[in-house]
Amino acid sequence: MTDPAGHGGHSGPVRRSVTLFVDQARGQVAALERAVADAGPGDADAALGAARGLAHTLAGAAGSMGFPDLGRLAAALEILLEGASTHGPSRRVWAQIRVLAHRVVGRVEALSVDDSSLVTGPGPAPPPAPLAPGLPGARVLVAWGGTGTVEAGSSVAERLALYGWKVRLVADTTTADEGLTAQTGVKPDLVVVDLDALPEGVATLTRLTGPDGPWSGVPWCGAAAQPSAALRMRVVAAGAAGLLSVPLTADAVVDRHADLREGGHEEAVRVLVLEGEPTLANLWRWILEGAGALVDVVDGPDAVPFGGSDDPDEGIWDAVLLAAPDASDGAATLAMALRRDPGLAAVGLVLLVPSPDLGPVASTLARGGDAVMTAPVEPDLLAATVLGQAARAQAARRRAGREGGGPVLLRGTLERRLAYRMGRARALDMPLSVGWLGPGDTEAGGAVEDWAAADRGLARLLRERVRPNDLLGRGPGDGLVVGLPAVTDADAATLLATVRDAFAGLVPDTPLAVGWAGLTDPDAPADETAAGLIARARFRARA
């Protein structure tokens, strides 16, 4: 019989190996505690060397035995101890050593054989990223509860179908967790629960979408007619993607799911670290790079490489970690100066101070939304704080330059971003296509009336079909433009044909003109601008 962890007949030896490691690790951290205690700020080279050797051994063994978190923590301690041996342990370094050593000891004391990934088996693989834009297939919405507004045949369900969605309505308010999954028969793309009819739905969806649930990772929303502030807090605290209004509308569902898709799109995070202590600078770099960030480290403000990114709509950094070496306001004042710099206005700041007694400048930064942390710090907390500030900065950039804060880029912003992607496509000898979609001529040859409503539906259709890194913006002639890097003209034509067909059902009797153009077209000028490429796509639509 195969064990549930997938190790078959080898589960016994694996468990014995992990058990032996846990026992040995507890002996190692006892020796580590003694070595750190002996390695005071004075002359303690031998003790520092012993502690570093123990941390090195523990870091390597913990990872191979299925305890990666412990391995990373021990590796961080090793980096500190190595720097302390080379440069001497300053007061700040010594304080950080003590904190990490204490955390390593506590983590080892709490080890359980059953927590090892060698015993439990690997977690689920992440879903593959979309390689090309196109018809999303049938996204599935599960609507659970008593509104009845999205039942089969309803106007909401019919409109969702035009966007490419299928609806599964579960109206039985007594449905158990397993029954809810069985009734739908599929893993949904989004779940909406009517909290007016089913207040217990929060707990149920938390279980279903949790790490061990059948819908692990599936986003869900509550729905309520007049939600209270307490209900909103409860829903968000449970991990929901917010609240929708009752009765549901198809447009609200599509918009919320598109927001979640874009928010889940991973961008490279770029962080600047200002740290004058070489040992700590190496530690901060290691922690943040381990969390997936691209890190620049400088030892002071004079070394900051001011300048822009190649992309005109991206800053050179997403977050700045600024370490204050003492209790003076110097670092906080520098942080305030960085905050006033126009090039860093949207950058998230994290100020690392040596004392929880904040000065007036640091307090001002904290009230303004910047993060202020007290050293020494936990590695995981530091990484989460810096990445959180970076995510906030990236979200602010995504919202900038858009019509009403929505998904459609303003024309100038679109052309700047498209020009940047055209340059990259030419440098890499890659295709890039642009589509223009706008109001066509009526049968009488006149203009389309009330194009604004049709335009909103068209934007939703395009948003459903493009990738998060594609461009969607305003073009000339009241049209919408999509920029599709690494997409050939033929693939662009196929994509736009599906949009045109869906638009005909969504906004009947409204003519839509569609055209496309690409960098690889035989008639494309070698030095064509973004505006010129868009104009060629529009000309083809009008031809």
| 100, burial (CB in 10 Å: exposed 0-12, middle 13-18, buried 19+) | buried
Distance from C-alpha of 214 to C-alpha of 191, rounded to nearest angstrom: 13
What is the secondary structure of 41-69 as a DSSP string?
Answer: SSS-HHHHHHHHHHHHHHHHHHHHTT-HH
Cβ-proximal residues to 470 (8 Å cutoff; 6+ apart), any chain: 133, 482, 483, 484, 485
- Residue with tokens 């018809």, as numbered in its chain: 135
- Residue 66 has a pLDDT of 81
pTM of the model: 0.65
- Residue 178 has a pLDDT of 54
- Residue 130 has a pLDDT of 47
Sketch out the chain's domains with CATH numbers.
8-120 (1.20.120.160), 139-263 (3.40.50.2300), 269-399 (3.40.50.2300), 403-542 (3.30.70.270)
**Ranges under pLDDT 50 in the chain:** 1-10, 43, 125-131, 135, 147-148, 153, 176, 308
E strands, 74-196, are: 139-144, 165-170, 190-194
Q: Where are the alpha helices (DSSP H) in 345-410?
A: 360-367, 379-399
For the stretch 160-212, pLDDT in tens is 888 888 877 776 555 545 556 655 567 788 888 888 878 888 888 888 888 77
Phi-psi region of 199 (alpha: psi -120 to 50; beta: other; left: phi over 0): alpha
Q: Please answer whether residues 239 and 204 qualify as being in contact, where contact means their C-beta atoms are separated by less than 8 angstroms.
A: no
- Residue 458 has a pLDDT of 94
465-471: list long-range contacts, CB under 8 Å, 24+ apart: 465/133, 465/134, 465/135, 465/136, 465/495, 465/498, 465/499, 466/133, 467/130, 467/132, 467/133, 468/261, 468/262, 468/265, 469/265, 470/133, 471/409, 471/414, 471/417, 471/418, 471/421
Q: Please answer whether residues 190 and 142 qualify as being in contact, where contact means their C-beta atoms are separated by less than 8 angstroms.
A: yes
- Residue 267 has a pLDDT of 66
For the stretch 294-327, pLDDT in tens is 898 988 766 666 554 555 555 678 898 988 776 5
Q: Please answer whether residues 386 and 271 qualify as being in contact, where contact means their C-beta atoms are separated by less than 8 angstroms.
A: yes
CA proximity to 157, closest of 146, 167, 147: 167
